A = this chain, B = another copy of it.
Amino acid sequence: MATSPTAGEFELIARYFAPLARSQPFAYGLSDDVAWLRPAADCDLVLTADAMVAGVHFLADDPPDLVARKLLRVNLSDLAAKGARPLGYLMTTAWPRDIAEDWIAGFAAGLAQDQQEFDVALLGGDTVATDGPMHLSLTAVGEVPRGQHLRRGGGRPGDLVFVSGTIGDGALGLLAAKGGLRGLAQAERAFLADRYRLPRPRLALGAAVRQLASAGMDVSDGLVADLGHICEVSGVSAELWAGAVPLSPAAAAAIAREPGLRALTLTGGDDYELVFTIPADAAAGLAKQGRRLGVAVSQVGHLASGQGVRVIGADGRPLALERAGYRHF
């Protein structure tokens, strides 16, 4: 606790968050300020932190259980991109002073559900009050066999670029969640909004490709930007084939009605799929892992020398993407 929590804050922690830590002996059921952790002898720890602000990273009327699960899952997605197994998390929450207790109860219920699904526990954290919008920050801890975590900087010219699942659903889902894409069927809008609200961290795939891939990360800032991060850190360039980027049926339907949305699927964020690069001779092994796990893996381009990401349209000509926020393209 940083400063002078009120009795109400202690009560909230005890009632809603302490039970989330109870299954994990090393967190002392949140009765301590500090958690301790003994990683397996042959593992490295991996740590990642992400923050979410109401009105920026989630919508004020999003269901509280989904907000909680997204907060946890965007961090688990970072662990997935390293091929790590999640162990637990620390969380700090800044609640508006007029927050309804029901909201917090729903938030805690969402965490409880995902703790079961991903076998993780709350290790510690802090609860404060704010006069501004709700702020949530989460640090996830995972482990990976010693020296085997997947980095961003290992891509080499000639490597193939792959993505998991379908791309662009997150950005289109935000439009749908805000009431847009009215031309789509209700089921399609609901599919896309769900993809925005509830990421599916690719933990099994990340662990499976850990030893095949040369570089990888999750698609959170948008495919072009995230592939650009890999290129920058690896010191290579990439050619990205827009026509090869896999779309969900709902995304394809949206683009069929409004072709301009195609660019958004390449630059929008919140997909939480994996983008990774592999040497060409590992492609067969990758396909096998994808089949084993039931996860689609699609080649969307390749690496070359140089720098930056060149996006090639379906007509074979370079595609100019205009969107603020991405350097180097």
A residues touching B (Cβ–Cβ < 8 Å)? 1-7, 10, 28, 31-39, 41, 44-53, 55-57, 74, 78-79, 81-82, 84, 90-94, 123-126, 128-133, 135, 137, 139, 141, 144, 146, 149, 151-153, 217-218, 220-222, 229, 232-233, 268-270, 324-327
Check B4–A48 contact: CB distance below 8 A. no
Check B31–A48 contact: CB distance below 8 A. no
Q: A39 CA to B123 CA in the complex, in Å?
A: 18
Nearest CB in chain B to that of A132: its residue: B132
Check A3–B49 contact: CB distance below 8 A. no
Known contacts A92-B137, A130-B132, A327-B10: A46-B51 contact under CB 8 Å:
no
Check B56–A139 contact: CB distance below 8 A. no
Check B129–A132 contact: CB distance below 8 A. no
Point out the residue from B4, B135, B233 that lies within 8 Å of A221, measured CB to CB.
B4
Q: A5 CA to B5 CA in the complex, in Å?
A: 32
Check A152–B32 contact: CB distance below 8 A. yes
For A49, list chain B residues within 8 Å (CB): 90-92, 124-126, 137, 139
Check A94–B36 contact: CB distance below 8 A. no
Q: A124 CA to B49 CA in the complex, in Å?
A: 7
Q: A129 CA to B324 CA in the complex, in Å?
A: 15
Check A34–B7 contact: CB distance below 8 A. no
Point out the residue from B28, B129, B139, B217 that lies within 8 Å of A153, measured CB to CB.
B28
Check B82–A34 contact: CB distance below 8 A. yes
Check B326–A7 contact: CB distance below 8 A. yes
Check B91–A31 contact: CB distance below 8 A. no
Check A5–B221 contact: CB distance below 8 A. yes
For A1, list chain B residues within 8 Å (CB): 50, 220-221, 269
For A130, list chain B residues within 8 Å (CB): 53, 56, 132-133, 135
